Structures are given as structure tokens and as C-alpha cells.
Amino acid sequence: MSIPISADEALRTLGEELTGGLELIAAATSVAELEAAEVAMLGRKSRFSSVQRALGSLSEEDRRTVGRRTNEVRDAFRAALAARRAELDAGREARLLEADRIDVTLPGRRLRPGSLHPLTIVQYEIVDIFTRMGYRVVEGPEVETEWYNFDALNFAPDHPARTLMDTIYLDVPGESGLLLRTHTSPMQIRTMEAQPPPVHVVVPGRVYRNEEITAKNMPVFHQVEGLAVDEGIAFSDLKGTVETFFRALLGPEREVRLTPSFFPFVEPVCGGKGCRTCAATGWIEIMGAGMVHPKVLQNVGYDPERYTGFAFGMGYDRLAMIRFGIPDIRLLWESDARFLEQFQAVG
Ligand code: DAH
């Protein structure tokens, strides 16, 4: 419903409304307050709206004047609203950014990179050389039977090695003849049982002997076993393989010497017993090796008339010690980060 008013009255009202409205807008501290100001100023119940409604009762000339002024007031009001809204939005953004701020000026906490254990480094190097020569890597159980650890490898029941090797027998109820493998050689048997020839495998792993702990000895140490069986494998293949291996591992200038020794599962052509530092001669024994004994081939059902092969086994704890100048084998077991982090970092 429109209430008739004079043009003067209408213009004064519009003027007051604009002033009041602009004050409301300036005072608004939130979008909700701005919206309330807009309703109060331009809403159906506002004085501005009643002036608009009263336009019809004015003379034509007055209507034009007052009408123009209504438009001006509304436009001015809307412009002020928009500007204040932009201000409020920007302020909100700035406050969010401020609250979300991440202080990157402090030094970050650096992750300590892990490193490969010196034994792992040497093991990887050894295995790598053989895989490049076409060998496959297999691993076997550390708890073995007497059959695999000794009998199948042609150790006679009274063979002194059974005691010389300081075998650790296991007392497991219901089981007899279980032991911790004293060498990786039992995996020769397990591998050949599982597949027909040709065989080319290397077997890295832990072995156990009941020895006193000293700077040079641990009751747990590591060996890599190797086995090659095929038709026509000769001693020259063993010699060539061993020489190629040591030159790759220790450098081309390294001299390799084969000296006779005895292991029951290979025929006595060469070898040593683990690796012992031999300060007096300048030579160290690293590897035992030989041509696979026909009886061993028979034990796994290979025809010894048709197949021949060679085998080798080497301890690499001492290789690692020599290589890295580690004075005491116990350091390899102490898990002391100050020692371990000196080796090849990973990650
Ligand atoms: N098993 C022997 C040891 O632990 C090392 C060895 C010697 C392994 C001769 C072989 C070999 O394969 O042919 O002392």
C-alpha cells in the first residue's frame, strides 16, 4: 500500500536512508551483517521501498526527479555493498592464510639413511658375479639333517669332519639327527634332487659351528656354495671359473693359487677350509673346491658316467673383514649404528 508523500519528503527520506545504509555497510563485520543491511535498506519493508511505492502519487515532474534519485541511491548502496563484501572476503582469506601458515624457516628433521651391512655388500658382489656367469641363486634351510649335511655328501659315518666341524646338534622331541648346517654344501644335494642337470647354482647363507667367540671366529658365519653339473664339465672349467670369479671380485691383478686339499664330497684336487689369513705367506685361503664325487651324483640319481661337475664353497665373513679393514669379527654382529653407517648408504 502506498502512502502519499511530497517530493521533498521523499528526497529527504532517500538521503537519510543512503547515509544510514552506508553506515550500516561500513559497520558490517560479516557477510551475514551485510545481507541484513541490504534487507533493511532495500527490502520490502524498508523506507526506500515505500518511497518507490509512493512514486505513483507524485506529479510527473516530481516523479522523474524522485525516480532518478531512487535509482542513484539504490546504485550507490549496491556499489557500497559490493565493495564491502570484497573487503570482507579478502580479510577472511588473509586470516585463513595467516592461520594456515607453515613456518619453513626451521631446519627439517633429516631422515637417517640406512646402509647395507658389510656382509650383505660382499654377498651381493659375489652372487652378482656368478649370476652374470649364468648361475641361479638358491637358499636353503639352516636346520638340516645328518643326511644332507654329511651322508649324502659322502662323509663316512665315522668321518672325523663330523666332529671336526664342531657340529651343533639339535634336541627336538620326536626328531633325531637334526643339526644346524655346518656348511652350505647340503644345498648341492637338495638342488640336484629337485631338478635334472644341467645345474648352475650359488647358495649364500648362514652356517653354524660350535666354536669359541674370538676376534676372528664366530659360531655363526656365512658361506656361498657353488655347483655346476652338466655333461663334459672338466677341471679346467672349475679353474677358469674360480679365476674369473676372483679377478672380478678382487681385481684383475690378483693371483689365484690352487693347492690340493681334501673334502669327501669332491675328489681331491684343490681347496682350503674357509678363509684364513695367512700373514706369513701373503696368501689367504678363501675357497674349498673340487670335482663333484661320483658317489654324490649317484646319491641324487644323476648318472656319473654321463655327468660331471664342480663345486666350491667359501666363507665371506673374512673377505668382508679384509675388504673393509674390520679388525674384529664381533663388530659384524653388534648392530652398532656408528659402525654400520660407514658402509654403502641405501635409499
Ligand atoms: N663345505 C666346505 C667347508 O665348509 C667347503 C667346500 C669345499 C665346499 C669343497 C665345496 C667344495 O663345495 O667342493 O669347509
* CA 191/CA 129 separation, integer angstroms: 20
Strands (E), the chain: 136-137, 143-145, 168-169, 178-180, 199-208, 220-231, 266-270, 287-292, 307-315
Summarised one tens digit per residue, pLDDT across range 139-159 is: 999 999 999 999 999 988 888
Which residue, among 144, 143, 297, 127, has the nearest Cα to 223 in the 3D structure? 127
Summarised one tens digit per residue, pLDDT across range 267-306 is: 644 343 433 443 445 666 788 899 999 999 999 999 999 9
Phi, psi angles (nearest 5°) of residue 78: -65, -40
**81 CB-near residues (< 8 Å, 6+ apart):** 25, 34, 37, 38
Residue 282 pLDDT: 61
Question: Does residue 276 line the site of ligand 1, with CB under 6 A?
Answer: no
Number of neighbours of residue 73 by Cβ within 10 angstroms: 21
pLDDT, greater one: 267 or 194: 194
Summarised one tens digit per residue, pLDDT across range 179-193 is: 999 999 999 999 999
253 by DSSP, 3-state: which? coil
- Ligand 1 pocket mutation pick from 220, 265, 296 by most atoms within 8 angstroms of CB: 265
Give distance in angstroms: CA of 127 to centre of ligand 1: 17
Summarised one tens digit per residue, pLDDT across range 195-248 is: 999 999 999 999 999 989 999 889 999 999 999 999 999 999 999 999 899 889
Question: Domain 118-343 is in which class?
Answer: alpha beta
**251 CB-near residues (< 8 Å, 6+ apart):** none
Phi, psi angles (nearest 5°) of residue 327: -80, -20
Tell me: pLDDT of 258 over 50.
Answer: yes
Give distance in angstroms: CA of 225 to centre of ligand 1: 7
Cell of 292: 663333484
Residue 241 pLDDT: 95
Residue type, 188: Q
Residue 102 pLDDT: 80
Residue type, 11: L
Give distance in angstroms: CA of 227 to centre of ligand 1: 11
* Per-domain residue ranges of the chain: 7-99, 118-343
Give distance in angstroms: CA of 263 to centre of ligand 1: 7
Cell of 334: 653388534
- Ligand 1 pocket mutation pick from 155, 185, 285 by most atoms within 8 angstroms of CB: 185
